Chain A
Amino acid sequence: MVRLRDLTLHLAKRELDATHRMTVLGWAWPLVRQLAQLAVLVFIFSKVLDLGIDNYPVFVFTGLIAWTWFAGGITSASSSLLAQRHLLFQARFPAVVLPVVALAVPLLDVLLALPLLLVLVAATEGLPWTVVLVPMLLAVQFVFMAGLAWIASAMSVFFRDVPNLVGLALMLLFYLTPIFYGLRNLPGRFRELLQINPLTTIVETYRALLLGDPLPGTGHLVAVCVLSVVVAVVGFAVFQRVQGRFVDQL
């Protein structure tokens, strides 16, 4: 376990180093990217098409941080084994770390953006005490993403279409998750439909913890926690089961 942890952290650091080494802005790039997207969304949905949400920039930023991690992580995880197949040919390399590394890299974006968000919240509405629970929620999201990452990456080895499918699914999911709008902007029956999406609950919970919005129902919270663990366990089991066949397919 210690070995897997050391290796995961090191590979993540290595990838970050390699990505940022030759750039002028270096570590600031992920933040710049998120702020640019934030600026566009804020402009459209408060100036062009007003959704009538209070303190909209902070509201979108919260959703955007959770989403950027999810989308970025799952995208790179789904092709992580294909992209780094050379590592799988190394003696006794634990393939199971690669999808996790792919999730850990965009986690940095979250960790860079979060302080900025906290400053914004503190300046506009004041921080609720529930902020201290955010790391727990990050952990739940991480477990959920790890399960999906293991399944998607293992399948992508056998079916090269999987990264494309993942890209398509994420594109749709961006609009089917209340990121730039709130659940209350929706009529009732759509609201219930959208709540089937576990990301809805996750995003809503971020807003509850950071902005003091109402929490989603206990049922939804428990369901998301249980689902995350189940997905992770199943994903890990599937991955372990098929990983012996990876090198023959790559």
Chain B
Amino acid sequence: MVLEGVWKSYPRWGASQRTLKALLLRRVPGRMTPSTRRWALRDISLRLEPGTITGLIGPNGAGKSTLLRLASGVGRADRGHIRLPPETASVLNLGHAFSPDLSGRENAYTAALMAGLPRRAATAALPLALDFAELEDFADAPLRTYSEGMKLRLAFGVIAQLAPQALLLDEVLAVGDLRFQHKCIAHIEALKADGTAILLASHGIQEVAERCDNAVWLQAGSVRATGPADGVVEQYREAMHSATLDRTPPQRGEPESLELRRNRFGSQALVIEDVSVMGSADSEVGVGGRLDVRFVLRPSAGLVRSPIIGLSVHRVADGLLCYDTSTQADGVVVGDVNGPLLVDLSFPCLDLLPGDYVLDIGAYEAQWEFAYDYHWHAYPLKVTGGAQDRGIFRPAHEWTLRGD
């Protein structure tokens, strides 16, 4: 699949401009000037090689979905060429083609026909699709009774029956549960091994770094970087870091333990306050003991939309990252924050080996574009105990020895 110099713009329509009245009232025909057009893609060129996975990364509104749409043949580019293999499959918007009153089976059949399978092949693919989706028991229930996850499974089950030369995926896998995601990823890897060129848009930059061969970073409709996935992802991360730094205001007043631009970063639109790290004693916890981290998130100027809250644990001795998690990684929905939000993250048994650790706590923009507030290596944690074992973690374990 090849895209060469693709440009795409959308007119800025007013709501009333699509009626005959507007046409009749428009005195000068073709009054559309470039200033009333919004360029969604500017001069995009990319090439997908068979047997590779290309990740498409970039913030919201960068043009990822527009690019995937055009590449799937929905809409037409203003300039440039798009060459697609005749057998291209895409999963763009989930289940929009589905009809709520018809059953899962009937909808799957429709989807198979629309994906280009002939009637007989579609009939043959139907049981396989339902099997892949693990929806045999619900196959005859009307689609309106399905959850979003079930719709995704149905849609992907159908796609899994195709052997496309190119496959385009738009961020859809995030809907499914973890096990099904793994199943889909395994299937995608198998397609890749068979020579399918795959293009997938993702917000999970870690996922892109791990699974993709190449990556394309879109920013405001242009390609900002392209090349091997880990390199592009690294650049993207750095840019996010500097975006955070750019938004970090200079420190004012008395220096305290937290100092902006030293160990505290972020736009401060949402601030982390009153952090307490409580184990058995303050900042101290026994091996396998309970740890509670509590803090307050306070928006400093108006509402903050669905931030991500993260925490990571580093070992002081060598700076090793022992554990890192976030509300997004754990599938916790934070929602919009327009007042103080009390956050309590508890570990019933913290299985770290004894030693000195340090915690980072951060609150990030909904797409990880920058940090609102990020406290770097700010909270010490001591794990106590007389263990003589070595490593990082101390999983609960038990020896059992039996002689004859």
Contact = CB atoms under 8 A, between A and B. Distances in A.
Contacts of B90: 91-92
Given A92-B73, A248-B11, A248-B75, A159 B97 contact: no
Interface stretch (A4-12, A34-42, A166-174, A211-219): A4-12
Contacts of B115: 91
Contacts of A91: 72-74, 88-90, 92, 115, 168
A22 B89 CA distance: 33
Interface in B68-105: 69, 72-76, 88-90, 92-93, 96-97, 99, 101-102
A10 B96 contact: no
Nearest to B23: A159
Interface in A220-250: 244-249
A245 to B, nearest CB: 7
Nearest to A9: B119
Given A10-B109, A89-B93, A159-B19, A2 B118 contact: yes
Contacts of A22: 101
B110 interface: yes
B252 interface: no
A92 B110 contact: no
A102 B106 CA distance: 19
B18 interface: yes
B113 A92 contact: no
A156 to B, nearest CB: 10
A166 to B, nearest CB: 13
B97 A161 contact: no
Given A88-B74, A91-B92, A91-B168, A10 B116 contact: no
A7 B114 contact: yes
Given A10-B110, A18-B101, A92 B116 contact: yes
A90 B75 contact: no
Contacts of B168: 91
A17 B106 contact: yes
Interface residues of B, number: 33
A14 interface: yes
Contacts of B118: 2-3, 6
Contacts of A249: 18
B76 A245 contact: yes
Given A3-B116, A6-B113, A91-B72, A86 B96 contact: yes
A90 B97 contact: yes
A160 interface: yes
Contacts of B101: 18, 21-22
Contacts of B347: none
A44 B106 CA distance: 45
B88 A92 contact: yes
A43 interface: no
Contacts of A21: 101-102
Contact of A14 (B69, B96, B102): B102
Contact of B19 (A2, A86, A160, A245): A160
Interface in B9-35: 10-11, 18-21, 23
Interface residues of A, number: 29
Interface in A73-100: 86-93
Given A6-B113, A10-B109, A10-B110, A248 B92 contact: no
A87 B23 contact: no
B92 A6 contact: no
Interface in B102-137: 102, 106, 109-110, 113-116, 118-119
Interface in B183-233: none
Given A18-B99, A87-B97, A244-B76, A93 B114 contact: yes
A82 to B, nearest CB: 11
A7 B75 contact: no
Nearest to B8: A248
Contacts of B106: 14, 17
Contact of A92 (B10, B72, B119): B72
A228 B191 CA distance: 47
A29 interface: no
B172 to A, nearest CB: 12
Nearest to A90: B97
A159 B102 contact: no
A89 B119 CA distance: 22
Contacts of B19: 159-161
B199 to A, nearest CB: 12
B10 A89 contact: no
Nearest to A21: B101
19 contacts: A3-B118, A7-B113, A11-B110, A14-B102, A14-B110, A21-B101, A21-B102, A22-B101, A89-B92, A89-B96, A91-B72, A91-B89, A91-B90, A159-B19, A159-B23, A160-B19, A161-B21, A247-B69, A248-B11
Given A244-B76, A245-B75, 18 more contacts: A2-B118, A6-B119, A10-B110, A14-B110, A17-B102, A86-B97, A89-B74, A89-B92, A90-B74, A90-B97, A90-B114, A91-B73, A92-B88, A93-B114, A160-B18, A160-B19, A247-B69, A247-B74
Listed from nearest, the 3 A-B pairs whose CB atoms lie closest are: A244-B76, A91-B72, A91-B90
